């Protein structure tokens, strides 16, 4: 299994391509212009990958800039949690408030819930529902390889913002403490912004959680 990270758009958002035996999941495609789209496409072409899933941890604009491109290019229906659908529907409007142009994200999507799994080849990614940063935020967890794709829930020595519309600080802290911090300390965390971390490091050092 290979987890490739790209950092895209003006929000420095991390897009991940998780591949196993030439099949891949594209997580939170943030490509916001031609150059970034080509960077993502080139990686997929160069490695002869076949994208089979487009997954969104949540629907803030920096995580869905590339939904239009990826879903058209690879004929994929985005998968997300239903509670973030309002953010998706309003994404173009929200982008305009930042003075940004967002290609209309497809609104025909599939919803997924906590406890369900995404499968690529023999690997399985469990959905963990982690509301707070957004109402329908979900993480991807691979138990066998001890990997967590945390979106904007948990960062290296930090946590997701909760000053945004529909955010809730108490919910976020609860999601981290009651769900993510139950994972093994050695679990590697792939964050939606910034560098990777581990659950153990954050349990010991994260200043936002006691
Ligand atoms: Zn976000």
For residue range 163-204, list pLDDT tens digits in order.
Answer: 999 999 999 999 999 999 999 999 999 999 999 999 999 999
Neighbours of ion ligand 1 (CB under 5 A): 60, 152
How many angstroms is it from 43 CA to the middle of ligand 1? 25
Taking the domain 2-205, which CATH number applies? 3.60.15.10
Ligand 1: distance of its center to the CA of 205 in Å?
A: 22
| Cα–ligand 1 centroid distance for 85 (angstroms) | 14
Alpha carbon distance 187, 147 (integer Å): 5
First to last CA, the chain: 34
Mean pLDDT of 101-121: 97
Instruction: Give me the pLDDT at residue 34, please.
Output: 97
Query: Quick one: tokens of 45?
Result: 């072409």
Q: What is the pLDDT of residues 38-96, one digit of tens each?
A: 999 999 999 999 999 999 999 999 999 999 999 999 999 999 999 999 999 999 999 99
Residue 135 CA to ligand 1 center (angstroms) comes to 11
| 3 state SS of 104 | coil
Ligand 1 centre from 35 Cα, in Å?
A: 22
Mean of all residue pLDDT scores within the chain: 97
**Residue 39, token pair as written in the block:** 């960077």
How far away, in angstroms, is 133 Cα from ligand 1 center?
7
Residue 126's pLDDT band (cuts 50, 70, 90): very high
């Amino acid at each position: 299994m290979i987890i490739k990270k790209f950092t895209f758009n003006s929000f420095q958002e991390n897009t991940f391509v998780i591949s196993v035996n030439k099949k891949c999941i594209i997580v939170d495609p943030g490509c916001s212009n031609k150059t970034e789209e080509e960077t993502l496409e080139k990686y997929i072409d160069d490695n002869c990958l076949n994208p089979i899933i487009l997954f969104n941890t949540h629907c803030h604009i920096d995580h869905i800039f590339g939904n239009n491109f990826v879903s058209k290019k690879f004929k994929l229906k985005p998968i997300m949690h239903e509670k973030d659908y309002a953010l998706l529907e309003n994404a173009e409007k929200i982008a305009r408030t930042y003075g940004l142009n967002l290609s209309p994200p497809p609104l025909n999507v599939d919803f997924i819930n906590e406890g369900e799994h995404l499968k690529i080849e023999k690997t399985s990614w469990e959905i963990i529902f982690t509301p707070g940063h957004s109402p329908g935020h979900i993480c991807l967890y691979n138990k066998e390889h001890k990997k967590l794709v945390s979106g904007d829930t948990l960062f290296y020595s930090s946590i997701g913002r909760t000053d945004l519309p529909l955010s809730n600080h108490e919910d976020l802290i609860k999601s981290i403490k009651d769900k993510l911090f139950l994972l093994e300390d050695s679990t590697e965390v792939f964050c939606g912004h910034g560098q990777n971390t581990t659950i153990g490091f954050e349990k010991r050092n994260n200043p936002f959680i006691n």
